[in-house]
Amino acid sequence: MNINRRGFIGLGAVSAAAIGLVACGGDETPGATTAPTTATGGETSAPAGAGGKVGVSMPTQTSERWIADGEAVQQQLQDAGFEVDLQFANDDIPTQSQQVDQMITQGVKVLIIAAIDGTALAPQLDAAAAAGIKVISYDRLIRDSENVDFYVSFDNFKVGVAQGQSLIDGLAERFPDENPANIELFAGSLDDNNAHFFFSGAMSVLQPKIDAGEFVVQSEQTSIEQAAILRWQQETAQKRMEDLLTAHYGDKKVHGVLSAYDGLSRGIITALENGGYSGETFPIVTGQDAEIASVKLIVDGVQYSTIFKDTRLLAEQAVKAAVALLEGNEPEANDTETYDNGVKVVPSYLLDVTTVTDDNVVEALVDTGYWTQAEVDSGVAE
């Protein structure tokens, strides 16, 4: 495991602020997928549990991105003096609901939740509010509840814009003489609020090209409902790409694919390779999350790009927000207008993102310590 990628970033002030908060114990949930709660981080660490207990609910361990998020949040909370109950729900909505219920019963002071389904946790949030527990929605906005105190995420519309622009740039680079270029569109899971921002951001730059006849979607599947991949599953994306090739590309070539996430990208790439695509005319495929297997594909010239979202910085903002809420303060927000969850506009802190191609892998990912050069070369996290 790459400790630098998961590790402590600039939370000395947060640690100091957290030490004075009231401690709260409670037994761990039997049988839950729970990370250890022993504080780490050397000289920067506050006493374990001095800041109180925080429940951290992550959606799955099937994605390397969410494992990285969970570990980064856990470590930085522990370094700030909190006891941490970190659980992964294995992409199962009832499991996540039960885990959050148990965290509330155990008396956590703050919940940090990356929801599987942004509409499924309203009962748990009602119970949290009744118990005086603050709720931070982590990266995926929890919808249809007034009991969301803060939202930390990346600028998700900008993520989509970056993906769409990367597809445009890649097509111009690899297929300058193809006019129109044939593209297909893959979006995320409809129950993830972010998927809608990603898709609308991408289409804000792609739709004018489609309208002008520069790009053609041969399948005519241009709505997010048609492009969505439930639970962001790689296998589902591969099957959809195979079906599109069979139905629409018998005598045509696909030149580019908008993919909202690296896992989808790898499924799409497998389908394309099985369909005979290879070499310098391999379609442009975008992605997101800088997963190491996809970074390796970028270096190898197969996947064109990914969007890097530094989970260490997101974890840092989640910890800062937790400390502020426990002190009775409003967390620092840089967006108080965009994220309406259907009941309220949730104050938010949004982080910026970086488009990564073969040209800047080292600068963006190795020099920042997110991945080591050895990991990039092997395509495997150490």
Q: How do residues 34-85 score in pLDDT, each as one tens digit? A: 443 333 333 344 454 557 899 999 999 988 889 999 999 999 999 999 999 9
* pLDDT confidence tier of residue 20, bands split at 50, 70 and 90: very low
Q: What is the pLDDT of residue 5?
A: 52
- pTM here is 0.83
Between these two residues, 144 and 19, which has the higher pLDDT value? 144
Helices (H) and strands (E) in the chain, counts: 14, 12
pLDDT at residue 339 greater than cutoff 50: yes
Q: What is the pLDDT of residue 184?
A: 99
Q: Using CA atoms, how far apart are residues 203 and 124, in angstroms rounded to an integer?
A: 35
For 352, other C-beta atoms within 10 Å of its C-beta total 12
At 290, list the tokens.
């800088």
Task: List phi, psi (to 5°) of 255.
Answer: -105, -25
**Beta carbons of 133 and 100 less than 8 angstroms apart:** no
Listed range (18-27, 60-69, 274-283, 304-313) with the worst mean pLDDT: 18-27
**Three-state secondary-structure class, residue 137:** strand
pLDDT by residue (tens digit) across 159-215?
A: 999 999 999 999 999 999 999 999 999 999 999 999 999 999 999 999 999 999 999
Nearest Cα neighbor of 159 from 265, 256, 288, 337 is: 288
DSSP string, 161-196: HHHHHHHHHHHHHH-TT-SSEEEEEEB--TTSHHHH
Find the mean pLDDT for residues 309-315: 93
Percent of the chain with pLDDT over 90: 84
Residue 327 and residue 21 in contact, taking contact as beta carbons nearer than 8 Å? yes
Residue 87 CB neighbour total at 10 angstroms = 23
Q: Provide mean pLDDT across the span 327-333.
A: 95
Torsion of CA 161, 166, 171, 172, to 10 degrees: 90
Q: What percent of the chain has pLDDT over 70?
A: 87
Residue 68 DSSP class: H
Q: Each residue of 81-140: pLDDT tens digit?
A: 999 999 999 999 999 999 999 999 999 999 999 999 999 999 999 999 999 999 999 999
Q: What is the mean pLDDT of residues 8-29?
A: 37
Give Cα 233 to chain centroid, integer Å.
14
Joined together, the tokens standing for residue 267 give 């499924």
Domains of the chain, earliest start first? 3-148+310-347 (3.40.50.2300), 156-308+374-378 (3.40.50.2300)
Tell me what pLDDT residue 63 has: 87
Which pLDDT score is estimated for 32? 38
Judge residue 255's burial from the number of C-beta atoms within 10 Å of its C-beta, 0-12 exposed, 13-18 middle, 19 or more buried. Answer: buried
348: β partners: 151, 335
Nearest to 95 by CA among 71, 48, 61, 129: 61
pLDDT at 382: 87
Helix (H, G, I), strand (E, B) or coil at 313: helix
Q: What is the rounded distance in angstroms from the CA atom of residue 347 to the CA atom of residue 360? A: 33
Q: What is the DSSP letter of 365?
A: I
What is the DSSP pairing of strand 256-259 with strand 284-285?
parallel
* CA dist 21 → 109, 325, 371 (Å): 10, 11, 35
Which tokens go with 146? 């007034």
